[in-house]
A and B are shown apart, each in its own frame.
Chain A
Amino acid sequence: MNRKNLALGNEAIAQGLLENGCAIATSYPGTPASEILSSLARLQRQTGAALHAQWAVNEKIAFEIAYAGCQAGLRTAVSMKQVGLNVAADPLMSAAYMGTSGGFVVISADDPGPHSSQTEQDSRLMAMMAKIPVLDPDSPAQARELVAVAYALSEAFRIPVMLRPTTRVCHARQDMAPLSPRPPERQPAFEKNPARWAATPKFRNQLHHELERKLAEIAIYPATAPLKLNAAGETPKAIVVSGVAAAHAREIMADLGIGDRIALYQVRQPFPLHTDFTAQLLAAHSEILVIEETMGVIEMQLADRQRVRGKLCGAVSRVGEILPEAVENSIRQFAGLPGRVPSLPTVPGRRPTLCAGCPHRASYFAIKRAAPRAIYTGDIGCYTLGLNLGAVDTVLCMGAAISQAAGFYHAFKNAPKPPDIVATIGDSTFFHAGVPALIDAVVQGVKFVLVILDNRTTAMTGNQPTPATGTGAMDEPLNRVAIESLVRGCGVSRCETADPYQLEAFTRTVRAAVKYSRSSGPAVVIARHPCLLDKRRQEAAALAQAPTVGDACDGCGYCLKNFECPAMGMDPETERVRIDPLVCSGCGVCLTICPQKAIAACARD
């Protein structure tokens, strides 16, 4: 019996990789891409496939490892989120020129919305800039199919191929035919050819000519040509869609019953846009609406501004996720149909917050006490939510907490009273991009405190291992890198490790580090306590304390404002703080923070 399974979009992509003989897959975690590699690692364990799957310290490293695999003739893949592709942009641009030997798929998952990202950038534009083809799936099932297409395309033209799913593909679930893995068939073989693989600028010019020739041929490659999704004949109007907008539009066109009046085309390869399709589209239709996420990549290649509507004229929003209600409204307007789909009311939802018992909450509380008027530079991860506690002033990109601390130091160093500067960065982010920034800060003698929030995992994206964990993507044992050694190796002479749950002692450590930094340069505090969500580390859970609020509570709200634990709330009847036992983790840090000492520990039943 061919029973279907439920698959997440990212699992479907992993299935596609395994079914097409991928031999090396690398990644750095980032929402919405994280589950691609973890699914692949799980499928590898289940099937015993000969596949190297690994988390790399950052996207650039991940890209370069996977790229070398395809230089050795294997089928390989690298996956990341759109902001991660910025980190890998350097090797991407160059790999496009040099091309590939085996098939190479670069998966960059975009986050229109943006649900969990700093930007809404469109990776398809990065593909355009690098001059490589990009495929834009509309569903988990199509993402899986396009992995096969991507490998065939990559090998036919010896070029890296981008697969660009969005959040609504990565985090959609769909019924799916079961996996039929195909083991990698090839043996690695590296053909030395320095003129290509180590080309000097003179040869790069030739490679650029070659790349342009490849693109012209890819623009007529039959396997990635646009599809006509309905039976409309010679209609004056046509709608062109790609990605998840195609999934929305197909359903909406059927609901509105206008499938015979307006032709609907799906572009699966937004760059390079097929030249025959472009010519036929402009010849056959007088009015064209393009709906795509996030930028007008297809639209700008249909260079007829009189007849093409889309983001440039405002018919489709340039900002945010193109929700199906927006797609319906665009289509209604284009088709001349009355009515509008209302949008949802804008009711403020709950803002995200650090979990109850999160060690970062205690760290931030201590930092604010130790350096109340400091500039707090922050970074990317769960702990960005320290901004709720007023302990994060800036968030730019991975690793920037440290370089921005340096920038603020240089800006203020001649001021009469320079502020203290406290940077916070997670352990995984420190490995990713913090180390070079710390080296620079040491060399420049930057007077600041770096608190490395070390919860022993990459928590935001689902608890992937870090270089300090000692296990890999497939739970295999690996070497460890100690953060202390790394910090000292960067040239930092004052580095202390403390547990933020021991709030008083931890606060003293931070205070001493701040004092040291004022006179002597960088000081590092490693705030070490395991993430409560990391199931590998059960020692983090099951504390014996059940904090309860006693009669001394005068309802001042200090704890709610300054500690913001989701287990705490004001009881409107008693006008006292109440601790919800269903939410409380029992960390016991709140015992220390109440100015009235009204919170006491009871034994947990």
Chain B
Amino acid sequence: MQAPLNQQIVISGVGGQGVLFVTRLLAEAAIAKGLAVLSSETHGMAQRGGTVLSHFKVGDFSSPLIRPGHADLLLALKAEGIAQHAAFLKPDGWIAVNAAAAPADGGNRCCLALDADRLARAVAPKAVNLILLGFALAASPAESENPLFCDLAEIQSVLQKRLDARPQLLENALAALAAGAAAPAAV
């Protein structure tokens, strides 16, 4: 029998990048699997282009916040998020970051980079968030001892349910997710 799944993910970016949307997709994927979910998000003043940070916990938790040194994954939609938020990670935690090259300041942790901005200009201009999520989902089992609690197909199915009535948006979202999943990590 498997141990109960407990996973803590920090998602960081700036206002307007869709940090909260990614968090919600992960949360709905967890609920679809019958897992308990807690998350915490930033609203109001911080959303006006300032740093946006989302704490996401799946499993047996009661606090909506992640303590430094406890996160399994940092999903950074801006490279500057690493300096600010890598301290949330536990020693074997890993990073998926939107950056042209793997940044040096991730410490000794496994840090996978993808230039999602560049990919977005070609695929879907406003979908850096989904491109990076697709990238992290595809990279997770192979690159990490600490795989994500859900997979690409489960996120696709959440997107399908959410955007059922808006086929054009759904098509773009799925394309962005797939583009991220197919992209190799930058070195």
Chain A interface (Cβ within 8 Å of chain B)? Answer: 3-6, 31-32, 34, 115-116, 138-139, 168, 171-175, 244, 247-248, 250-252, 323-325, 328, 341-345, 347, 349-355, 382, 384-385, 460-462, 566, 581-582
B11 at the interface (CB under 8 A from A): no
A247, A328, A385: the one contacting B67 at CB < 8 Å is A328
Chain A's nearest CB lies how many Å from the CB of B125?
5
Do B88 and A344 have beta carbons less than 8 Å apart?
yes
Q: What are 25 A-B pairs at a CB distance below 8 A?
A: A5-B31, A6-B27, A31-B43, A31-B45, A32-B43, A34-B43, A115-B44, A115-B46, A116-B44, A172-B39, A173-B27, A175-B30, A175-B31, A175-B36, A248-B65, A344-B88, A347-B80, A349-B51, A350-B50, A350-B51, A354-B48, A461-B44, A582-B117, A582-B120, A582-B125
B113 at the interface (CB under 8 A from A): no
A31, A172, A175: the one contacting B64 at CB < 8 Å is A172
- Residues from chain A with a CB closer than 8 A to the CB of B44 are 31-32, 115-116, 460-461
Chain B's nearest CB lies how many Å from the CB of A142?
10
Inter-chain CA distance A384–B83, complex, in Å, is 28
B46, B61, B84, B88: the one contacting A347 at CB < 8 Å is B84
Do A353 and B45 have beta carbons less than 8 Å apart?
no
Do A139 and B62 have beta carbons less than 8 Å apart?
yes
Do B51 and A115 have beta carbons less than 8 Å apart?
no
Q: A168-B65, A324-B67, A352-B46 are in contact. Are A342 and B120 (CB under 8 A)?
A: no
Do B41 and A351 have beta carbons less than 8 Å apart?
no
A116, A251, A352: the one contacting B61 at CB < 8 Å is A251
**Nearest A-chain residue to B125, judged by Cβ:** A582
Given contacts A6-B37, A171-B41, 12 further A-B contacts (CB under 8 A): A34-B43, A168-B64, A172-B38, A247-B63, A248-B65, A323-B67, A324-B63, A328-B67, A345-B84, A355-B49, A384-B45, A582-B126
Inter-chain CA distance A175–B36, complex, in Å, is 6
B151 at the interface (CB under 8 A from A): no
Chain A's nearest CB lies how many Å from the CB of B149?
14
Inter-chain CA distance A95–B50, complex, in Å, is 40
Chain B's nearest CB lies how many Å from the CB of A160?
27
Do B48 and A244 have beta carbons less than 8 Å apart?
no
B91 at the interface (CB under 8 A from A): no
Q: A347-B84, A461-B44 are in contact. Are A250 and B62 (CB under 8 A)?
A: yes
Inter-chain CA distance A116–B62, complex, in Å, is 24
Do A172 and B40 have beta carbons less than 8 Å apart?
yes
Interface residue count on the B side (C-beta < 8 Å): 46
- Residues from chain A with a CB closer than 8 A to the CB of B40 are 168, 171-173
B31, B42, B43: the one contacting A4 at CB < 8 Å is B31
Q: A5-B31, A323-B65, A341-B69 are in contact. Are A352 and B43 (CB under 8 A)?
A: no
Do A342 and B87 have beta carbons less than 8 Å apart?
yes
Chain B's nearest CB lies how many Å from the CB of A157?
30
Do B43 and A171 have beta carbons less than 8 Å apart?
yes
Inter-chain CA distance A350–B49, complex, in Å, is 7
Chain B's nearest CB lies how many Å from the CB of A346?
9
**Nearest A-chain residue to B47, judged by Cβ:** A352
B15 at the interface (CB under 8 A from A): yes
**Nearest A-chain residue to B84, judged by Cβ:** A347
**Nearest B-chain residue to A582, judged by Cβ:** B125
Inter-chain CA distance A251–B61, complex, in Å, is 6
B24, B48, B66, B125: the one contacting A352 at CB < 8 Å is B48
